[in-house]
Copies of this chain bind each other. A is one copy, B any other.
């Protein structure tokens, strides 16, 4: 889908260099952040409900998206500067580290929003499937919202890390007996696996009326078994990022709970190496580029 040249990057923090004459929300020198969206129609029922991510006309993505000006295309955060409408710029609560805040703008809100929507709270058992950029934020949020948080992973070596991130339990999904012991135990499961996979084993973990929300695999899933949804009135849902208001709420929640993303900072000239390491899952859990190295 790419329109070249592409400037990627939609987890952006920085300092406001200049404001337009009608800007009221920020002044020069303030910190600001931009996530995955820089515009939406503002008039449809979704936008009116603060769900700009589901704008019925389609939101304008931070990069590689057509702009209102015909022929224009948006460029993202791998850049020294970005220009955006103030209503799509977030405030960064003073206490948060800037590098740890950047990934909150996508990985953070993507995991926070469904947990709020499905009302994750104390007294609930919540599973987070997959421990990567999204999953590590999911564990932090579920734990901070008071849920009994279970990291569900194929990789036994990730157990210790998962506990450090806040998981009360770690469930190794390749361990048949461990999975059987947890059948029908979960109120909510956040599935962050980024590719097509068999979801049956995870649906089996849900309680009656439980929900599994997919936030990773943006593609067709093979053989979703309707019988598993029917016997237990379970639901399979999906969710993308969150609205602008909710993104600000998430940042404020992070400041209150002292949550940031675990990151490794790289210089712009390390980007190809970082990509290779990312493919091999050798990052805990997000690379952040220091744009002063550009």
Contacts and interface: CB of A to CB of B under 8 A. Distances in A.
Chain A, interface size category, equals 35 or more
A231 interface: yes
A260 to B, nearest CB: 25
Interface of A: 45-46, 51, 54, 56, 114, 117, 184, 208, 211, 214-215, 217-240
A228 B236 contact: no
Nearest to A241: B230
Contact of A219 (B214, B225, B235, B238): B225
A214 B230 contact: yes
Given A114-B233, A218-B226, A229-B237, 15 more contacts: A45-B208, A46-B208, A54-B208, A54-B233, A56-B208, A214-B230, A218-B230, A219-B226, A221-B225, A221-B226, A229-B238, A230-B238, A231-B238, A234-B237, A235-B237
This protein's copies in its complex: 2
A57 to B, nearest CB: 11
Contacts of A184: 56
Nearest to A236: B236
Contacts of A45: 208
A229 B191 CA distance: 13
Contacts of A230: 214-215, 218, 238-240
Do most interface residues of chain A lie in helix, strand or loop, or is the interface mixed?
mixed
Nearest to A216: B226
B232 A54 contact: yes
Q: Which of A114, A223, A231, A237 has its CB near the most chain B CB atoms (within 10 A)? A: A237
A221 B219 contact: no
22 contacts: A51-B233, A54-B208, A54-B232, A54-B233, A56-B184, A56-B208, A114-B233, A117-B233, A211-B235, A219-B227, A220-B225, A220-B227, A221-B224, A221-B225, A221-B226, A222-B222, A222-B223, A230-B238, A233-B237, A233-B240, A234-B237, A234-B238
Nearest to A58: B231
Interface pairs A-B: 3 shortest CB-CB: A229-B238, A230-B238, A220-B223
Given A54-B232, A233-B117, A226 B239 contact: no
A184 B44 CA distance: 12
A212 B205 CA distance: 21
Given A54-B231, A54-B233, A233-B117, A238 B217 contact: no
Contacts of A117: 233
A191 to B, nearest CB: 9
A54 B220 CA distance: 29
Contact of A237 (B56, B219, B236): B236
Q: Which of A211, A215, A223, A238 has its CB near the most chain B CB atoms (within 10 A)? A: A238
